Amino acid sequence: MPLRAILFDHDGTLVDSEPVHFRMWATVLARYGVSLSEQQYIAHYAGVPTRANAVDLVRRFALGEDPAVLADAKNAATKDFLLRSAFPLMNGVLPAIAEFRRVGLTLAVVTGASANGVYAMLRANDLQRHFATVVSGDDVRASKPAPDCYFLALERLGLQAADCLAIEDTQHGLRAACGAGIRCLALPTHMSKHHNFECAAAVLDGMPQAVAYVQQLLGER
């Protein structure tokens, strides 16, 4: 079955947001007297949805707080950031979008996070017209690594798993795509390079290499 759609993760794949998320979490935890190091964030929290991170943080640091309070504080910090700016794009994203659209592929964003960051990125870079749908953690009962968001994307696009290729930067996103039966390219960042990518169709250095991979796929069909 020919390739018909590319399903992009957002944080760490389309945008370089993880350093910002780390700083936000560090600020939230500082209110409780906890100092979160970048290495701790990389080891446990990069690429993980906010609600799941909040649960783990309460347990790991023995905080006498409802995880929902931490999640709300982090979401408020993210909302405030996005009112002022958008997350910067990862290297090679704009040429990749242009090339994928040129060859007739449908594009979607499938993120485990809330959709506000995605829409801020699309508006800031005038990319709304290129994406057929955005599926976020707000749209499903179980966020990544559950496959629900990918199943919903397939439903909205009217496509089968075999029609699609996902692009992710973490093992959590990779598990979600693989759980939905979708081939997935892994593009590890410095915050996710230690993750387990064994179910990836390929592990690549960045978006330009993903474009080359897709071009090869299209050439073989």
**Which residues are catalytic, by number?**
9, 11
What is the rounded distance in angstroms from the CA atom of residue 26 to the CA atom of residue 24? 5
- Quote the distance between the C-alpha of residue 30 and its chain's center: 26
The amino acid at 81: F
In the numeric block, which tokens belong to residue 187?
A: 């593009």
CA angle 186, 190, 192 (to 5 degrees): 50
Q: Which residues contact 10 (CB under 8 A, 6 or more apart)?
A: 17, 109, 111, 113, 117, 118, 121
What is the rounded distance in angstroms from the CA atom of residue 78 to the CA atom of residue 25? 10
* Cβ atoms of residues 7 and 182 within 8 Å: yes
Closest residue by Cα to residue 8 from 103, 118, 104, 102: 118
Can you point out the beta strands (E) in the chain? 5-8, 106-110, 133-135, 164-168, 183-186, 202-203
Using DSSP bridges, classify how beta strands 133-135 and 183-186 pair: parallel, antiparallel or unpaired.
Answer: unpaired
| H-run or E-run covering 171 | helix 171-179
